[in-house]
Amino acid sequence: MPVIYNGGTFDLIHVGHLRTLRKCRELAGSDGQVVIGLNTDKFVEEFKHHPTVQKYVERSEILSAIRYVDRVIPNIGGADSRPTLEAVSPDIIAVGQDWYSSDDSRYCQQMGFTKNWLDEHHIRLVYLDWVPGLSSTNLRSIAKEI
C-alpha cells in the first residue's frame, strides 16, 4: 500500500492541481493513499508575504472532497517539511516538474531537507508534468485585472 505525498498551498484550486492529484492517485493505485500536506495560513503569509484567498479550513475542505485525495494534514513544519513527512512516512513525494534539478537539490533545499535525508527515510522523489503558466498566483493576477 504505497503512500504518495504532495504538499502545497492549493489556493484557488485549478485544473493543474486536479491533474497533479490525479497523477498522485495513479502512482498510489487503488490500494494506496494520497496524502496532502497543506500549508497553513500563517506559513503562507510569512513565506509568500500575502494572505491566501481561501483560509486553511476552506482549502482543506475542498481538497478532502476531491476523489483523488485520501487525507489532508497541515504542514506543521512550515519551511521545514521534515516534521510533516515524518508524520506521514510516504514512499513517494510527487512534485511538479517545475521543481526539477538533476540532483534533486532544488526541491530538497526549498523543503528543508537533503537528498541524503530522503534516502535515509526511504522516500523517493517523483516529478510530475505540469502546465506552465497555470498557477494560483497567475489566476490571482488575472482576477485583479478584471
Give me 57's grid cell. Answer: 479550513
DSSP string, 25-61: HHHH-TTSEEEEEEPPHHHHHHHHSS--SS-HHHHHH
Tens-place pLDDT, residues 27-72:
999 999 999 999 999 999 988 888 889 999 999 999 999 999 999 9
Tens-place pLDDT, residues 122-143:
999 999 987 665 554 544 454 4
4 against 17, higher pLDDT: 4
- In DSSP terms, which residues pair with 38 in a beta bridge? 8, 74
Tens-place pLDDT, residues 83-98:
999 999 999 999 988 8
Are the beta carbons of 9 and 72 closer than 8 angstroms?
no
> For residues 42 and 114, what is the distance between their CA atoms, to the nearest angstrom?
25
